[in-house]
Amino acid sequence: MKILKKYHEASGQEINIEKSCYITHSSLNPRTTKRLKKWIGYKHSNFPFNYLGCPIYTGRKRIDIFTDLTTKVINKTGGWKTNLLSAGGKALIIKHVVQSQTLHLFAALEPPITTLKQIEMYFCNFFWGQKEDKNKYHWSNWKKLYYPTEEKGLGFKRLKDICKTFTMKRWWRLRTMDNLWSQFIKAKYCPRANMVSKVISPNNSNIWRSLLKIRPQAEHNIQWEINKGNTLF
């Protein structure tokens, strides 16, 4: 609380008690938790919780943690009168309105594959429309609509590819930048070994495992740029 008070005095920013909470370990004595609540005045919370639209959680990725993301997409698509929109109008909404709801989250973490498939299913149903609360016939496989317009597709972006792009961007920043995030990741996972030679461990976090999975392709691209004579570091 002294640190928070010093931060307030230095920055002039006040902490909103109504929006703040504290989290304790599950094995902590309940009486201690109550005393903490009395001392600091914040409400007690548990994992998972949302911060700036992103779920903060511990353990493995579960579908229920990302329910809010799926709900946002459903509400966004449900707010449009699909019967009044042309196919081009629906494609424009999916590309530039509905998919933008997911970019903020994908830039920070990667949802489970099942969640991505559910969202794409809602995209598909929205595009082909409904009649009398029933989905209309899908005249083309959704995967074919990912192709560029030059290849008779609609140019939709596969959500899995978007997540993969953001993960590669995080690896790129880890390899080329010296900021607070990269220093923390290197200190936590690579204190005595080079990150290029690290192997995946069951105890690693989801974000670190995703970075190691994308590493071979990312390093291949980095080496390709170096062979072209471009300066990266």
pLDDT in tens, 172-193: 888 888 899 999 999 988 888 7
DSSP assignment of 106-126 equals HTT----HHHHHHHHHHHHHH
pLDDT band at 81 (very low <50, low <70, confident <90, very high): low
Per-residue pLDDT tens over the stretch 27-57? 899 899 889 888 888 888 888 888 887 888 8
Nearest CA among 24, 48, 18 for reference residue 36: 24
pTM of the entire structure? 0.78
Polymer length of the chain: 233
Determine contact, residues 55/66, Cβ cutoff 8 Å.
yes
pLDDT the model gives residue 222: 73
Determine contact, residues 217/168, Cβ cutoff 8 Å.
yes
Residue 35: C-alpha distances to residues 17, 18, 19, 40 (Å): 17, 18, 20, 9
Q: Spell out a b/e string for 42-62, using b for 16 or more CB atoms within 10 Å of the CB, else e.
A: beeeeeeeeeeebbebeeebe
pLDDT the model gives residue 83: 66
Give the Cα separation of 62 and 185 in Å (integer).
23
Q: Average the pLDDT over 121-149 and give the result.
A: 82
Per-residue pLDDT tens over the stretch 217-228? 888 877 776 677
